[in-house]
Structure 1
């Protein structure tokens, strides 16, 4: 009989390794920013066709993120994290060896699958880390996209300026291989699994709906917002997503639990995520162009590609530095207040940016202020989501939240791209963005975060959360009374000193070696597992940092619980 096992490795390397994978994902996303304007020439294609190299990654990332999150809940988050990184490496190598547009688009789509690493990493942290370390760890993981983006811009610009641009993809592939190796070495698999099967029909429906929605958002400025193609795709997206939602509500194990997503705290957090995504992408679109425009325009700052990247880099560095600050603020005031504070700081940064665009050092100030705000806001989002969903839904819920951010960046890209195009001056057949367009873009970002603040105000605060917790406790007490009438095993998982082991997985295995049930222990180490009928069973307990343990037990099938405590020995004690 095969019993569940867990890794005996320490979890000390989990946080830095998972944060590194998030940075790798961000590097992949911003890889081509320094060469965007040169893509038509590099790929020997029209500018409208070259934009598909960026659109393909966006679409693939948006589609794969909730799917990989759900697969992680079902089959193992570490396993799906490795799969996401492996697909990214393959996509990077494909792009590195081609100049063909269609092949490049296919490779970039495969790179987009790496986006699933963010919710999977957050889910792994929740499953493994003690509560006192979880807040700062999730903040670091959540802000890693901005960190990687900020650091990647100057490095990618340096490579693109002094080497063959294909080297960017080989560098991304190398980083992906390093991330895979570190994950294999330092990140154990989570023992937690969600019940049910993968919803293939739901995945297909969501994928189709998202493609139909994001395609006109990203290409609407090229096709025309009132064109038949754009309007037809929006209408098709509405029909498909409504039909998908009706189907998901009828399933016992849907890809996305829409009832959970409709809870006030989850819904408002996801809507606020869209607003933060809009604000995050606006600065990435405006500042590099402003910095590189020639001084002859009267407002361009005439900087090189590398200097422009260095001026924007503080955006990511500040996001990284705000992770420990977020942990302290959240511990004192709660993630809701931290989210509101972060969005207010973003608004201040964009407001100040309206008058600080005349020198390179001023763009650095804008990057620092907005980076601090985005770092606080992004760090608050997973904490709000995790506090509102069941542990077994962590991957899918954070995948959906990451999708909301992606939709925000897509909307930002489309709307601000349209604004800059419609306000541009045409000189010698070349469209040159104007200062008026840049300021309108900053106003749009400011309006988005103000809308996000309004949404966040209606999130439940600490007092409301405490009321919800008490209500949940009363509901659990009612369930416990109901379980008294059921045949079950009940007890606690304890270490040799009698200290409870929270978040340990207890698996019930019948005499044929099949899993008959599973449960995760509460904060006091308690568990309860109902049995299908009387007979001999094995209860296997596993937890990170502990040696697995299995105990034989018999239940006669009569109503009521059979008490059974399970011991788990820390690995360090076994070594002694």
Structure 2
């Protein structure tokens, strides 16, 4: 049995840490959506073919997919704050490179460097996990997650405003400025985490993953130009399969892999990760299609003739709605579980894309599509980490969530490449300019719908989570004050007393049992002598959270072997000590 205190590992951590880390999330979101308002103009701006121009977007997603596990592992080894600053610094350099060029290859190089900012997300969450008391961690991570939606929602109209009234290179100067500000704030406010992992960095694994993903995405993007049956296309696909297989075998053989593939052996982890790829695909399609449809001239017969700013405002609800679904997700997941929430989210995405096929005739219709898709994607994305955490032991949650994030990034990268290729191949050439067609937009939406259908099928086959203990009964009707009355003799669970800092028993303290899925597995009120008893539904890691009026809250982790016995665990408020 293990239990920990809620003391912060580093006392320099202040209340400003969470907003500063959330601001880093906003910077990442801005970097991702920076070029969305000028997507349709990229071939002309860079004097290249549309299929080449898509690499300006794909390269960022690709480097982000690779950077996520790389920066996460480096952060565990050498310090998360240090690697967070490095991620942002590489992004700033990339933004400045892009700001100073109109050449395709140099622009792709700059955008590739910008993708490294994606590593800031797992690093920020890791810093929160290391520094914050457990009772504050949930809300802090929710703020970090919602900041990505807020950043994306606000960045679209802001980037459109800049691109419409200034040289488009100003977008990169703005991103570099935000990156510098985030670095300065991090240096001033965020302390370094004392947590360090043992082992070394898997250089070969990083090179293998990067090579395999490039070999996969290059023929997807250029296959139509080279010919799908050409030796180059087929050769690159074959090479990607070989490289990724060899990479996987190598990762399984070494002690400290870049990505722990052993966790994928579990059915629930494998299915969740495959569903994550599908959600990633569906997420990016709308960002690529709607801005172009909105900005195309009405003279085309299907374009909506809107300015960049209006187009940005019409798509902005996508990110903002993702943020507002967070509290809805919390309620749905608490009642029905993350599997059901994922299925609901995917159904809403399917409705959004299915309805979107017939809602392309006016700007207000694109807003409706954005809202519906934002709600569905928000629910689906929120469910994925909970499913992963509930499927693996507590010691493996970091590696498992890192792999899940990688899968989502691969989904968005593949989506960018495939949809870019579809739009380029269905475009009309008018006076030397490639104009996307309505047929291309509809095919893109159909691809997204098919991806969601596959995701739904995978989600349905996810195993059902274990049921809570059968001998617990709900006594109160209020959600906040609901108390689960335990049997007087707890055969399998935790028992002890709730005490204050001086050792005096605390009566009517609420003690809540939380399982590794983050869901309530039981709750009770302490007796007059401070005693409490809670049964556990199964073996595993749990958190016992205690709170009482006039005392600080306490969260203590404990593990139960599943044997038919009660483990003694006293809980001392406000959380300075834990005795067993």
CA apart distance, 1:18? 2.8
Aligned to 1:558: none
Aligned to 2:243: 240
In structure 1, how many angstroms separate the alpha carbons of the residues matched to 2:329 and 2:374?
13
Aligned to 2:364: 361
Distance 1:523-1:146 versus aligned 2 partners, 3 A rule: closer
SS at match of 2:391: coil
2:155 is equivalent to residue 157 of structure 1: no
Distance 1:219-1:133 versus aligned 2 partners, 3 A rule: farther
Q: How does 1:277-356 map to 2 (within 5 A)?
A: 277-356=280-359
CA apart distance, 1:395? 4.5
CA apart distance, 1:279? 0.8
Aligned to 1:443: 446
CA apart distance, 1:272? 0.9
Distance 1:308-1:222 versus aligned 2 partners, 3 A rule: farther
In structure 2, how many angstroms separate the alpha carbons of the residues matched to 1:285 and 1:441?
9
In structure 2, how many angstroms separate the alpha carbons of the residues matched to 1:15 and 1:326?
21
Match of 2:382 among 370, 379, 382: 379
In structure 2, how many angstroms separate the alpha carbons of the residues matched to 1:150 and 1:431?
28
In structure 1, how many angstroms separate the alpha carbons of the residues matched to 2:179 and 2:74?
20
In structure 2, how many angstroms separate the alpha carbons of the residues matched to 1:326 and 1:15?
21
2:481 is equivalent to residue 452 of structure 1: no
In structure 2, how many angstroms separate the alpha carbons of the residues matched to 1:443 and 1:136?
36
Aligned to 1:477: none
Q: How does 1:114-193 map to 2 (within 5 A)?
A: 114-129=117-132, 133-193=136-196
Q: How does 1:559-570 map to 2 (within 5 A)?
A: none
CA apart distance, 1:26? 1.6
In structure 2, how many angstroms separate the alpha carbons of the residues matched to 1:304 and 1:87?
32
- Native 8 Å contact 1:135 1:327 kept in 2: no
In structure 2, how many angstroms separate the alpha carbons of the residues matched to 1:334 and 1:129?
26
Q: How does 1:510-521 map to 2 (within 5 A)?
A: none
2:212 is equivalent to residue 195 of structure 1: no
2:76 is equivalent to residue 73 of structure 1: yes
In structure 2, how many angstroms separate the alpha carbons of the residues matched to 1:453 and 1:497?
54
CA apart distance, 1:370? 0.5
Distance 1:447-1:274 versus aligned 2 partners, 3 A rule: same
SS at match of 2:167: coil
In structure 1, how many angstroms separate the alpha carbons of the residues matched to 2:124 and 2:294?
35
In structure 1, how many angstroms separate the alpha carbons of the residues matched to 2:48 and 2:366?
33
Aligned to 1:97: 100
Match of 2:415 among 412, 416, 424: 412
Distance 1:126-1:451 versus aligned 2 partners, 3 A rule: farther
- Native 8 Å contact 2:296 2:305 kept in 1: yes
Give the TM-score of the pair, scaled to structure 2. Answer: 0.75
In structure 2, how many angstroms separate the alpha carbons of the residues matched to 1:394 and 1:76?
19
Distance 1:61-1:181 versus aligned 2 partners, 3 A rule: same
Distance 1:220-1:465 versus aligned 2 partners, 3 A rule: farther
Give the TM-score of the pair, scaled to structure 1. Answer: 0.76
Give structure 1 stretches of 5+ with no counterpart: 468-493, 503-520, 526-544, 547-564, 572-576
In structure 2, how many angstroms separate the alpha carbons of the residues matched to 1:465 and 1:190?
35
In structure 1, how many angstroms separate the alpha carbons of the residues matched to 2:383 and 2:55?
32
- Native 8 Å contact 1:147 1:315 kept in 2: no
Deviates more, 1:46-55 or 1:116-125: 46-55
- Native 8 Å contact 1:17 1:183 kept in 2: yes
1:168-188 Cα offsets, whole Å, 9 max, x none, are 111111111222233334444
Distance 1:48-1:282 versus aligned 2 partners, 3 A rule: closer
Deviates more, 1:226-235 or 1:151-160: 226-235
In structure 2, how many angstroms separate the alpha carbons of the residues matched to 1:390 and 1:191?
23
Deviates more, 1:288-297 or 1:309-318: 288-297
In structure 2, how many angstroms separate the alpha carbons of the residues matched to 1:333 and 1:126?
26
In structure 1, how many angstroms separate the alpha carbons of the residues matched to 2:319 and 2:262?
35
In structure 1, how many angstroms separate the alpha carbons of the residues matched to 2:159 and 2:469?
47
CA apart distance, 1:46? 5.2
Aligned to 2:263: 260
CA apart distance, 1:111? 0.8
Distance 1:335-1:292 versus aligned 2 partners, 3 A rule: same
- Native 8 Å contact 2:95 2:175 kept in 1: yes
- Native 8 Å contact 2:282 2:452 kept in 1: yes
Aligned to 1:251: 254
1:324-383 Cα offsets, whole Å, 9 max, x none, are 222222223222222111111111111221222211111111111110111111122222
Distance 1:332-1:41 versus aligned 2 partners, 3 A rule: same
CA apart distance, 1:210? 2.0
Aligned to 1:206: 209
- Native 8 Å contact 1:143 1:375 kept in 2: no
CA apart distance, 1:274? 0.7
